[in-house]
């Protein structure tokens, strides 16, 4: 059976790689906190869109509050 997208793109490896990329442009990025927020107790039961949304919420929690600064970081990745 074909792998489901949620299991292909939202893995421990891909989330950690994504965090590493962010740290290249924002060295203060708290990778450990981000990864821990993403992989909460409900993570495995989430569907693709839920994982996407949850990841964005977690990212928002760890990026700077300043909109321009955050936008500059995200545009680089």
- Full pLDDT tens readout for the chain, 77 residues: 457 777 778 899 999 999 999 999 999 999 999 999 999 999 999 999 999 999 999 999 999 999 999 999 999 99
Sign of dihedral through CA atoms 18, 6, 65, 32? negative
Which pair of structure tokens corresponds to residue 77? 């990745």
Which residue, chain included where needed, has tokens 């869109």? 49
What is the four-CA torsion angle of 51, 22, 14, 8, rounded to 10 degrees?
Answer: 50
- Domain ranges (residues) in the chain: 28-77
What ranges in the chain are assigned the alpha helix state H? 5-9, 12-25, 31-38, 48-62, 67-76
- pTM assigned to the model: 0.88
């Amino acid at each position: 059976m074909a792998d489901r997208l949620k299991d292909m793109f939202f893995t421990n490896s891909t989330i950690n790689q994504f965090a590493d990329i962010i740290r290249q442009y924002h060295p203060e990025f708290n990778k450990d906190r981000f990864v821990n927020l993403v992989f909460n107790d409900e993570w495995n039961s989430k569907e693709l869109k839920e994982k996407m949304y949850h990841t964005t919420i977690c990212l928002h929690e760890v990026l700077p509050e300043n909109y321009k600064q955050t936008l500059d970081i995200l545009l680089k990745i």
